[in-house]
Structure formats: structure tokens, C-alpha cells
Structure 1
Amino acid sequence: MMLKLILRRLVQMFLIMAVASLLLFAIFDTPEFKKRLAVQELGGFAVSALSEDSYQAWLSERGLDAPFYIRYTNWIGSILQGDLGFSYEKNREVGPLLLDRLANTGILAFFVFALMIPLSLVLGVLAGMKEGSVQDRTISFISVFTTSIPEIATAILLTVVLSLGLGWLPAKSAMIRGFEFQQLILPVLTLVIYDFGYVARMTRASMAEVMTSQYIRTAILKGIPYRRVVMRHALRNALIAPFTLIVLQLNWLLSGVVVVEVFFEYDGFGKLLLEAALFPDVEVVQACTLVAVAVAVVSQIISDIGYTFLNPRIRFA
């Protein structure tokens, strides 16, 4: 059953990526974007001085006058060979540039997950164990309060207090001298403070529901120690819904952290995507969009497979 599920999800991933790539290519395969590509490659003055015949000759040289299906096939073939194009804004190949930015965002995401997951799960379980208590209300209030504050407001507050006020941390994360650990502290704190409340509230709701179930009441009435009931019986079932949410946070950490990366001048994937969209650097936008879609699909597959391990009723259905 597990093998069939994985194969079915892989087929779905292939189909989704194929449709997404086709739509993405069609969106950017317009005369307007071709003109912008010519401006980036030749320069604005050179393009304005080009005659229509010269422009058509440039299109023919780049293969942009070929039929749609040929251009799309060539584009997919180049991507499969690792050729993602050239960034005229950064004056670099898109492939190495994208890998560098993904590595930076991956480092940021690692520390965010390392702090956010234990914090949110522990607080969510503590709140759900005693639904309606002072402990539950306090944790729920903190979770709602932190998630209701926009990321930019949290980033400004942390910068004013920890950087400008106390002088403990650098205000920006500009990687001029290379990677430094101190550059991560403010971005990581901002993302953890903003996001842990979502997972904590989901964990709390799931834990509270499990604790009121019949099998938990039966286990307690049979005299099983309360801690054992929570750790061995309640916790596993309570983690099903939070697990799905945690895995889906990969999408948010990849492309949804644009505000944080731009504010702290952190050279990550989100900042690259924004810069490419503003330039506009068409081939970088295309590559970033495909990566974002791929991560979204892969995270969904991981979520589905993990869900079956946590829920035996699905695994053996």
C-alpha cells in the first residue's frame, strides 16, 4: 500500500510540474516579455535603434521565432540539463545563483525549524492537556498575539530593542564579509515569533480533542500513569494534524519570507525572487517559480506519507 501511495504521488507530482511549467512558459512567452529580454541582453538604447528586420533576426538567433511547442521543448530540455538561463541583473548564470540563495534560505529555515517546532509542540501539548485552565488560556493568548503581529512589525521591534537599543546584534544581515552566525539571530527570532503560534494552536486543538476521547478516559480509569497515557497514547494521535502543518511550512519558509529577507538584507531565495520580479529578470523568475512549485509538491508528498505512518487506519486501509 505504501509503495502504491508513493508511486501515485510521484505521478501526480510529475503532472503538476508539467502543467505548471507549461503555464509558466506560456505566461512569459509573449511579445512584451521577448522585448524585455532583448532590452536586458542588448540594452535599451540598442533595442530602440534596432530595425524590425534586425529585431526579427535577433529573435531567430535566439530561437524565439520557432513554434511554441519547439520553444517549450527546448526550454524544458535546457532545464533538465541544468541550464536555467542567465541573470542580466546579477550578471551570473541562474543555476549557481539560485543554488547559493537556496542554501542561504535553507540555513535560515534550519534554525527556524530547530527552534519553532520544539517550542510550538511543547506549548501546544501543555495547553491541550488542561483545556480551559490558566495554563491553556495563557499559551493561547501568547500564540494569538504573536501571530497577529505582522512580520515587519516584529522585525522592526526586535531591531530597535536588540540592535539599536542594546547594541547586541547587527541591525542588518548584509553578507558583505561572508556568512556570520550573528546575522541569523534577528531573522530567525522574527520568523519563530511570528510562526510558532500557528503550530502551537493547531497542536493545542488536536491535543484537547484527543484528551477527551474515550480510549484516553479508559486508560486513565484503568490506573495507567497520567504521564504514560499522554506520552504513549495521546501524543502520537495529537501530532497528526500539526505534522501536516509543519511540513507545509516549508513553502512559507521558501518564498513567504520575502519581507524578512529584504528587511534584514539577507541574501536568500525570497529576496532573489523579489529582485528578479522588480528588474524584471525573466529567467530568474521562471526558475524561482519552478523551484517553489517543486518544493510545494514535494512537501505535500512528505506530508501524505508521514500522515500514513502516524495514522495506522490510513496505512492499513
Structure 2
Amino acid sequence: MLTFILRRLAFTVLTMLVVSLLVFLLLELNPGSVAVKVLGPYSTEEQRQIWMAAHGYLQPLWQRYAIWLQHMVTGDFGDSIRFKVPVAEILWPRLWNTAILAFWTFAILVPLSLILGVLSGMREGSPLDRAISIASIITTSIPEFASAVFLAAIFVFWLGVLPGTSAMSGGFDWAQLVLPVMVLVLYDIGYVTRMTRASMAEVMTAPYIRTAFLKGIPFHRVILRHGLRNALIPPFTVIMLQINWLLSGVVVVEFFFAYKGFGALLLEASLNQDIYLIQACAMVAVLVAVTTQTLADIGYTYLNPRIRLQ
């Protein structure tokens, strides 16, 4: 088990190195292009040469990459072109805001989708199964921007019980989190529910489940002790994948509700060609992606004893 964990950690580090090299080559290979983005299109060639010399862009490529990688590891991402402050001063607060949004989304999404999926898979083909399946398909097929408009029309303009924006300009406000969390939960709950339902339905037809029933073991014990643990293996992987989506895939929701999160920051950095901010966002997003996948693989071994024994 320890060997497996060390192997996964080594793979994570290697993945980060490969991605960092790709990000560096894509965004920093041409020093002149970087100088234009930083100084602006109306800067002179002399000004660009002076800037490149002052910031080490005339050094060999491998030296520039080594210095750039060192700065990335230590959290020195440079200064934002758009905000005129160090990137770290903007990145970490925005990342924390998205973490808050993701936490409450998961706190509602995970237990609700697992319960619905298990109930649906336990009684495959029943009226409850069909109702949950239809609701899951409907919610998954509606994109975030459509559900955001629909929910805002109901709770903001019709009922008037929730604020229409979540900018938190007057400080943290729980009411401003309700609509963004609701939109994210509605969009993702159908997908996780369907995965859980399919896994539970497959487990319910397994020979060991039928044997447990034939032995006279109560229904709830068969489900809780034998069926549920095996049924949670595929949904666990899917749920871990949703962390990546909640980090950088919530651009639409954050932009619609003016929520100052990581996704909106990435969009703003791209629109303004803020190269250092784009680099920092890309590396953080990849770090979260490979970390969550490593945790998913490790957690998978605990849920599936056959992998752990191998």
C-alpha cells in the first residue's frame, strides 16, 4: 500500500513538471511577446529590450525555465498586469471564495445525490426509479446559464427573497451564496445520481447479494453492509472529478452572479491577456486536478479490497 502511495505521489510530481514545462513554453517561449503584454502594444523596441534585460528574459531558455519554476514553487507568481499588484494577493482570496462555494455545493450535492441514486438503484424499474431518473436527466440537460436565469427570475424578481448578485461588496453574506450553490447543485446532481443509480443497480444483481437474501439477512443489512460499499466505488471517482469542475468550470455561474471566485478571475485574466495571472491560475488548477485524482486513486484502494490486496 505504501509503495502504491509513493508511486502515485511520484506520478503527481512528474505530471506537474510536464505541465509546468508546457505552460512555460506556451506563454514564455517568446520574450518579445511577453514584453508586449506587460508594457503594452505602444511600447518601443528599446523599452522592450530594457525590460527583458532587467527581468532575465535574455538568458538561455533552460535558465529562464529553472528560475520560473523556482518562483512558481515558492509562490512568487509576479505582478498582475491587470490589477497592478502581486498575483498572490489576488489569487489566494479568489481561490478561497471558490473553495467556500465548492464546499457548500458538495455539502448538499454529495449526500443528496448518493441517497437518490441508492434509492433508485435499489428498486430498478420502480415508479420511484423512473421519477428520479427523469428528474436527473432534466437537471443535467439544462446548462448553468439557463438555470441561473430561471432561478433568478423566480427568487429575485418574482418572490424577491434572494439577492440577484453575489459580489459580497458589503462583507460576507450567506444569502448571496444561495443562488450560486443552487445552480451548481441542480446542474451536477443528476449526473452523480445517475452514476450512483447505475452502480447500485449492478450491485443488486450480483451473486453475493442474492446469496445474502437467501440466507435470510434483513434487507437493510444487505444494503448497508454488502451493497452500499461496493456501489460507492464508481460514484467516488466521479465526485472527486467534480472538484476540478468546481474550481475552474464555474466561470458561467461566478460571472452571472458577479461572484469574486477563481473561475471569474481566470476569465478576467484571459480577456486582459494577464500573462502572469494566467500562468498562476493554470498551475493552481492543474495542481488541484492531479492532487484530487491522486486522492481518488488512494481512496479507491480502501473502497475496493481487491486492488488493495494486489
TM-score range (shorter-chain normalised) is over 0.9
Amino acid at match of 1:150: P
Residues in 1 aligned to 2:259 and 2:26: alpha-carbon distance in whole angstroms: 29
Amino acid at match of 1:27: L
Aligned to 1:186: 179
For residue 145 of structure 1, report the CA deviation from its aligned partner: 0.5
Aligned to 2:220: 227
For residue 288 of structure 1, report the CA deviation from its aligned partner: 0.4
1:37 aligns with 2:9: no
Residue 139 of structure 2 is aligned with which of 143, 146, 154?
A: 146
CA contact (8 A) 2:35 2:48 kept: no
Aligned to 1:12: 11
Q: Which runs of 5+ in 2 are unaligned?
A: none
Q: Which runs of 5+ in 1 are unaligned?
A: none
For residue 316 of structure 1, report the CA deviation from its aligned partner: 0.6
Map residues 1-317 of structure 1 onto 2, 5 A cutoff: 2-29=1-28, 30-31=30-31, 33-39=33-39, 43-45=40-42, 47=43, 50=44, 52-317=45-310
Residues in 2 aligned to 1:248 and 1:295: alpha-carbon distance in whole angstroms: 10
Residues in 2 aligned to 1:310 and 1:116: alpha-carbon distance in whole angstroms: 20
Residues in 1 aligned to 2:114 and 2:10: alpha-carbon distance in whole angstroms: 33
Residues in 2 aligned to 1:220 and 1:54: alpha-carbon distance in whole angstroms: 80
Deviation per residue, 1:123-155 (Å, 9 max, x gap)? 000000010111111100000110000000000
The more displaced of 244-253 and 81-90 is 81-90
Q: State percent identity of aligned pairs.
A: 55
Residues in 2 aligned to 1:291 and 1:187: alpha-carbon distance in whole angstroms: 22
Amino acid at match of 1:82: G
Residues in 2 aligned to 1:74 and 1:5: alpha-carbon distance in whole angstroms: 32
Instruction: Provide the alpha-carbon RMSD of the alignment.
Output: 1.1
**Which aligned segments of 4 or more residues in structure 1 are displaced greater than 6 angstroms?**
none
Residues in 1 aligned to 2:198 and 2:38: alpha-carbon distance in whole angstroms: 54
Residues in 2 aligned to 1:128 and 1:239: alpha-carbon distance in whole angstroms: 12
Secondary structure of the 1:65 match is: coil
Residues in 1 aligned to 2:33 and 2:114: alpha-carbon distance in whole angstroms: 46
Paired residues in the alignment total: 309
CA contact (8 A) 2:105 2:184 kept: yes
TM-score (norm 1): 0.95
Residues in 1 aligned to 2:281 and 2:38: alpha-carbon distance in whole angstroms: 21
Residues in 1 aligned to 2:53 and 2:242: alpha-carbon distance in whole angstroms: 43
Secondary structure of the 1:87 match is: coil
Secondary structure of the 1:265 match is: coil
Secondary structure of the 1:173 match is: coil
Residues in 2 aligned to 1:206 and 1:80: alpha-carbon distance in whole angstroms: 40
Residues in 2 aligned to 1:78 and 1:219: alpha-carbon distance in whole angstroms: 58
Residues in 2 aligned to 1:183 and 1:137: alpha-carbon distance in whole angstroms: 34
